[in-house]
Structure 1
Amino acid sequence: MAKPRGAAASAARRATSTILRGGAELLLTAGVLMLLFTAWHLWWTNLAADEAQASAVAETVREWSGQDDGAVETSAAGEPIRAEDGTGAAAVRAPGAEEAIRAEAPGATAEAAPETGTGNGAGSGTVQGPGAEQAARDGGVPQAAGPALDSGVWGILYVPRFGPDYAKPIAEGVDPDVLDSVGIGHYPGTQRPGQLGNVGLAGHRQTHGGVFWHMDRLGPGDRAYLQTREGVYTYVYRSTEIVPPSGIQVLYPVPGDSGAVPTRRLLTLTTCHPPFTTDLRMVVHLEQGSFVPAGTTAPPEVRDVVRRAAGLEGA
């Protein structure tokens, strides 16, 4: 009687071993498939985004080169020039400017904080949080004066430190439909280029073109160039900080001080940190150093890439 029991026990052990081995193999296979899918996702979204963004940049630069309609007259610093409209109110010399006269006085505040992305695990790189609306009511983020920015691509960012051919389009908004397609989004409610205050931009760290993948490389002496229909704005690196996703204070006209009146023209870039996580945000602040009006030669450091971006190399 002992032998049958021993045989049954041995068969049970073999069956258990087979099940465990099969389960381990399934888990290993699933892990490999997940890794392959992640690698494919990163590679494919970056490849597709790079092509789409390069096409958007070329089309935009060619459009600006071929027509001046809609351009706004600017000051030497690149800020929209205002003129008296006969009623004593300051008006921007552009169609639809009447709706953009708000926040003319320093320290004027917005009705809502900048719209932000969802931080959905894709590395959106935006700052957000329950305290954003209160921050705006306390003087956080004034509406940008001047005509509303275009709903499509209205700017191009060049950062030589990110690579000799780095040129990425900028559109209004920081929701996934902007960051996943265009690449770089402008925080609504932050200033427009050339204005006193803070131009806030967000971008992915690793997917959909990974527009800010190399942001940790920026340091003293580095420059970023923001091109619009009006010309090219040069920004010089000032500082880097790491904040939680709720760190809305980095977007104030004077970062970190909601009640201060801005006296400088800043550019703030935000992205996820560390790479492949959405736990924190890396924030880089730069300050405008100069402005070159459209129709004149671009700054030497980006002159070639501007021509390449427009498909004018060798012309």
Structure 2
Amino acid sequence: MKHASSTGPRSAAGRALATSERGVMRSVLGVVIELLFTLAAVCALYIVWQMWWTGVEAEHAQVETRQSADWVDPAAGGDEVAIAQPQEGDPPVQPEGAAEGDLVAEIYIPRFGDQWVRNIVEGTSQEQLNRHGMGHYETSQMPGELGNFAVAGHRNGYGQPLADVDLLQEGDAIVVRTQDYWYVYRYTTFTIVTPDQVEVVAANPENPGAAPTKRMITLTTCEPKYTTATKRWISYGELEYWARVSDGVPAELTSVDETGAVRFINNEQPSVVSRLGSLQPVVVVALLAYLVIFIAAAIVWRWPVLREIREGARPKPDVSIYGGLLRHQPGVLPVRVLLLALLLVAAAAALLQWGYPWLAANIPFLQAMSNYVTV
């Protein structure tokens, strides 16, 4: 009896200690798992920023540029459009010159989708390509000019204008529109080169140094698509005809509906997200909504979970990052979940708007991977 009574308390104390140790280990493991999931979410959100949000910002900038340009919209009425007929003679050259960042042309490639359109601005710096679509090599010829109208564009991120360049087929239309003229090129072939092979954008890429004999277009982009770009994918096209914008739209950019009416295929309005252009309003609205709901819930319900834990009506929970955040919100469970969701939305939007651009601008390997520059 003495033996049993002497070991009983020690056994109970040992079991309590073991239970406590298991609780600590469970809490530590839980926090580690939460941190790993958080890190995975942050990395996934970085990919979202790189692949999607940079494209939204680029589309916003391009729409603003097109809207500010004093260019006539040949399909502004939304009704049937006229087909611009090919013109005879040498094409006019437009523009004759441009400063860096100026809108040179718009480019339509139906193979990439009916609604696909990108701006071409002067210059091929990362700043121009990241925010303004595609850039014209300043040393190459202008649209319609004898020689090579050479442009560059990203294949990944920032709207990835040339993401599907490998889908082009011989004879595909590449339509360039300047302020007053259409230039319809036909895709001919492609080649893959190293970055130092700059002759691909020469006036006569087929015979560098010789006088040009054709009116060409060259599209340059990165290769491979999703990893470090060690080469360049070069696509060539040759001018088939030119037309006047005042006469309508090239047949390559039209379709015929069930009534027989001719429509401009690129007729969708910019997306709602691209009109936003910045996630700062999302952050502000989420935080304001959080503040209003937080105050209302604190007045009506206070903190029922914390009260129950203090009073012993609810067992003390394990340490948890998100569990702790959820418990410290006022109100009933649905309200607390909503409050936590608003905080997470604000945090995610802040990362997309400010966090990832800062990281991509200041961490060398991220900068190299994302081609990011501060604009």
TM superposition score normalised by structure 1: 0.62
Structure 1 or 2: more helix by fraction: 2
Matching of residue 34 in structure 1 with residue 43 in structure 2? yes
Supply the distance in 2 between the matched residues of 1:222 and 1:46 (Cα, whole angstroms).
25
Secondary structure of the equivalent of 2:208? Answer: coil
Equivalent residues of 1:243, 1:282 under 8 A apart: yes
Q: How does 1:263-282 map to 2 (within 5 A)?
A: 263-277=213-227, 278-282=229-233
List gaps (5 residues or longer) in structure 1.
1-17, 67-73, 81-93, 95-145
Supply the distance in 2 between the matched residues of 1:35 and 1:310 (Cα, whole angstroms).
29
- Offset of residue 221 of structure 1: 1.9
Matching of residue 56 in structure 1 with residue 77 in structure 2? no
Equivalent residues of 1:58, 1:309 under 8 A apart: no
Corresponding residue for residue 147 of structure 1: 96
Cα pair distance change 1:171/1:306, threshold 3 Å: farther
The structure that has the greater radius of gyration is 2
- Offset of residue 48 of structure 1: 2.3
List gaps (5 residues or longer) in structure 2.
1-26, 74-86, 255-262, 271-375
Q: How does 1:74-153 map to 2 (within 5 A)?
A: 76-80=89-93, 147-150=96-99, 151-153=101-103
Matching of residue 215 in structure 1 with residue 174 in structure 2? no
Corresponding residue for residue 89 of structure 1: none
Deviations 1:159-182 (Å, cap 9, x if unpaired)? Answer: 000110111111100001111111
Corresponding residue for residue 267 of structure 2: 308
Supply the distance in 2 between the matched residues of 1:307 and 1:23 (Cα, whole angstroms).
50
1:205 partner amino acid: R
Which stretch shifts more, 284-293 or 300-309?
Answer: 300-309
Cα pair distance change 1:76/1:54, threshold 3 Å: farther
- Offset of residue 35 of structure 1: 2.8
- Offset of residue 194 of structure 1: 0.9
Aligned residue among 52, 75, 81 for 1:43: 52
TM superposition score normalised by structure 2: 0.53
Equivalent residues of 2:109, 2:173 under 8 A apart: yes
1:207 partner amino acid: G
Supply the distance in 1 between the matched residues of 2:104 and 2:269 (Cα, whole angstroms).
15
1:44 partner amino acid: W
Deviations 1:231-283 (Å, cap 9, x if unpaired)? Answer: 00000011011111222011111114222211100000011111123222111
Secondary structure of the equivalent of 1:64? Answer: coil
Secondary structure of the equivalent of 2:55? Answer: helix
Aligned length: 225
Supply the distance in 2 between the matched residues of 1:260 and 1:171 (Cα, whole angstroms).
27
- Offset of residue 32 of structure 1: 4.7
Aligned residue among 236, 245, 270 for 1:285: 236
Supply the distance in 2 between the matched residues of 1:309 and 1:285 (Cα, whole angstroms).
28
Aligned residue among 59, 65, 79 for 2:72: 65
Corresponding residue for residue 201 of structure 2: 251
Percent identical among aligned pairs is: 30
Supply the distance in 1 between the matched residues of 2:39 and 2:184 (Cα, whole angstroms).
49
